Amino acid sequence: MILKKEQKYIISPELNSLNRFSPKLKIAVLASGEGSNFQVLIDLAKKELFDIDIKILICNNKNAGCVKRATEEKIPYFICDESSCKNRDDFEKKIINKLIESDIELIIMAGWMKIVTEKFINSVRKKIINIHPSLLPSFKGKNPIKDALENGSLITGCSVHYVVPEVDSGELIIQGALAINKDENIQNLTNNIHEIEHLILPFAISEAGFTVRR
């Protein structure tokens, strides 16, 4: 793919249509924040443009925007606040039990800001994918957009990858890239990255779902 001057971003691989799933692909979404990526999935499902059934939202913060969205859209949700759990193991166990009980096929981390352990990954026994706002393997961790800016990168973007025990690693499914303009500010860059995330996440789920059903 060649980045043409008039293009704002580049997405690779180039995926043009979402796979169809019959019955619908049963997913769980793990989110900690605003939930704009979650909303994209809700909207596509509502318009019947994507054959997904969002069985549950799992969130670690009762005040997060994603919980409000789930409430408004009548999507079941489960809040698990780590501070009210005995320890991290207890926190993860509660989430694992909920995921098993929810009868899902694929887990989507869409703004999930907690590191999951190897035990968690092995216990849920489902494929997990994660969206991250950098061009992995560059800028793993908590502040990838700020890190890319401060390190003088000229290009950044977002990635969706399979989750493995090593943080922000695992096989890449799709990436979107954009130029960092001179005098770029973090808010503008964040907004632009979000815009690309909203485009690529459904395609990543579609690809991962295809693998799960194969």
133 contacts ligand GAR (rule: CB under 6 A): yes
User: x/- site string to ligand GAR, residues 73 to 102, per CB under 6 A?
Assistant: ------------------------------
Candidates 196, 197, 205, 208; binder of ligand GAR (CB under 6 A) is 197
131 binds ligand GAR per the rule CB under 6 A: yes
The answer to whether residue 159 forms part of the interface with ligand GAR (CB under 6 A) is no
How many of the other CB atoms lie within 10 Å of CB of 111? 24
Q: Which is nearer to ligand GAR, 159 or 206 (CB)?
A: 159
| 163 makes contact with ligand GAR (CB under 6 A) | no
DSSP per position, 93-158: HHHHHHHHHTT-SEEEESS--SPPPHHHHHHH-SEEEEEESS-TTSS-SS-HHHHHHHTT-SEEEE
CA angle centred on 29, ends 82 and 166, rounded to 5°: 65
Is 33 one of the binding residues for ligand GAR (CB under 6 A)? yes
Confirm or reject binding of residue 31 to ligand GAR (CB under 6 A). yes
Shortest distance in whole angstroms from residue 158 CB to ligand GAR: 6
Name the residue whose CB lies closest to ligand GAR: 111
Residues serving a catalytic function are 132
Pick from 37, 60, 192, 206: which binds ligand GAR (CB under 6 A)? 37
Give the distance, in angstroms, between the CA of residue 34 and the centroid of all CA atoms in the same chain. 12
Enumerate residues 6+ apart whose C-beta is below 8 A from 174. 11, 12, 13, 15, 159, 160, 200, 203, 204, 207
Q: Rounded to an integer, what distance in angstroms lies between the CA atom of residue 178 and that of residue 156?
A: 6
Which residues would be at the binding site for ligand GAR (CB under 6 A)? 31, 33-38, 110-111, 113, 131-133, 158, 194, 197
